[in-house]
Structure formats: C-alpha cells, structure tokens
Amino acid sequence: MVLMLLMTVPAQLVVLGLGAVGVQGRLVESLAHLLVFVTLLGIVWLVRTRWEGDPATYLALGGGAGRALTRLEVGIGVAIVLVGSQLALIALLGYADPNAPVLTGADLAVMALWTFTVSFLLQGLPEEILWRGYLQTTLMSRLSPITSAILTAVFFGSMHVVSFGSGGTWDSKLVYALTAMAMGLVMAGLRLVTGSTWAAIGYHAGWHLVSRTPALFGVQVAVPPPVWLQLLPGILELLAGVALLVWWRRTHRGSAAVPSSRS
C-alpha cells in the first residue's frame, strides 16, 4: 500500500533529474511516467502475491483481457457523459476562448501521448489500484459493501485537500475535496456494480482524458464560468454515485454476497 501511495513520486524525481541535466519536455515526462509505473507496479505485484501471500485476484483486476477491457470502456463511457456535459455547456454558452492555440503535427502527438500517460499511468491506474482495488476490497472484508464504498470515497476526497489543484483558500480546498469525494463515490459504485477495479480505472483515467483533450484542439475556457457550471460535474457525480449504490443494493437485496474480485 505504501508503495502504491508513493508510486507517483519517483516519476517526478526522474523528470526533475533529467531536467537538471538539460533533458526535458512532455515526451520525456511521458516516458518517465511509463518506466516508473511499470517498475513499481511489478514491485507491488510481487509484494502482494509473494510476500503478503494474497491471491493475484485480490485487487479485482482479473477476469481476462476481454472482460477487463469491457469494464474499462464502461468507466470511460460514464466519464464522457458526466464530464463531457460540462465541457459541452462551456462551449455552447460561449465560455470557450475562440483564440486559443491549436496544436498540430508533432506537438499534437507529443501532448496527446503526455495526456494519455499522465491520465492512465500516473493517475487512473495507480490510484485506483490503491483506492478501489486495495482499500475498498480490504474494507469489504470487514464492513458492508455500501459502507466500504462510502468510506473509500470520503478518504479519497479528503486526500485532495492538500492537492496542488485545490487552490490557496480553505473554501476552494473544501469544494475541491467534496468534488473529489463525489468522483470517488462514482468509482466506488462502479467497483461494486461491475465487481471490477477496471471500471473505476476507466472512469478515473477517462475523467482526466475528457478534461484535458479539448485543450489539445484549442478549446479552452476564456473566462471563469458561473458557479453552477463549475459545480455541475460534482453534482452529477454525486447523483450518479448514489444511483450506482442504490442499483447495487436493489440487485443484491437479501444477499450478503460481495461482488467477486475475480470478475
């Protein structure tokens, strides 16, 4: 678990080290993220299966490539709907900057690679292996699945108080943390409903992909949108998260079974 928490630190150290000797750029960052992620994920797997003696299915990452891909796509699809709705309204209501630069050629390719590696390898995969794969599965062995999902979302959101994106005031930090909790509730709900961490990974990575992709094609916010529009994704995520938990509860009424970590 500690290794998973620290998974993003070595990537940043590698990037800083290369920058100190004059090697820098988005492509370098992407390669550093990929190298560190693969290395540390291998270490985590060895620790979980060889040292701690847990089965390979403990993190709910099994089920075969086909089923894993399907669940990944489900998570990405949900992210497109929830996050994309805000971006669409920003464009339709005239908050997009018509003069924003548009990337082309090699610049577009490098930024697209950076967007993918950061969204999946630095944020989606490692964070969800920790939160929904390790923590939520562990809590479900001691608490009810619904309680475990809610607690995981609360812990996940609370960590964002110290995030770089939380702003410099306590008001902004509180809003940022509450929004992250709503996001965490969606991913916890997807983990329950599908029985697989891959759906949560898809949503987490998809959330960042959908948020970052418009900027690659010159779609950026010109002026801050109204408060209701800024809060829209969090509100939709809260509603979606509650709906997923209710859905799971109704389909498992009268059953004490926990979603299989092998699916």
Residue 244 located in a structural domain? yes
User: In sequence order, what are the residues at sequence separation of 6 or more whose Cβ sits closer than 8 angstroms to the Cβ of residue 112?
Assistant: 216
Residue 101, domain extent: 60-251
Residue 53 located in a structural domain? no
- Count of domains for the chain: 1
Tell me the pLDDT of the chain (263 aa) as tens digits: 444 445 555 555 555 555 554 445 566 666 666 666 666 667 666 766 666 666 555 566 665 667 888 999 999 999 999 988 888 887 788 777 777 777 678 878 888 888 888 888 878 888 888 889 888 988 998 999 999 999 999 999 988 877 666 566 777 788 888 999 999 999 999 999 999 899 999 999 999 999 888 777 766 776 677 778 778 888 999 999 999 999 999 998 765 555 544 43
Angle at which helices 227-251 and 145-159 pack, to 10 degrees?
160
Residue 7 located in a structural domain? no
Residue 195 located in a structural domain? yes
Full-model pTM: 0.79
Residue 211 located in a structural domain? yes
Q: Are 42 and 50 contacting, i.e. CB atoms less than 8 angstroms apart?
A: no
CA distance 94 to 223: 9
Residue 217 located in a structural domain? yes
- Output the 3-class SS for 17-48: HHHHCCCCCHHHHHHHHHHHHHHHHHHHHHHH
Q: Are 198 and 68 contacting, i.e. CB atoms less than 8 angstroms apart?
A: yes
Residue 36 located in a structural domain? no
Residue 16 located in a structural domain? no
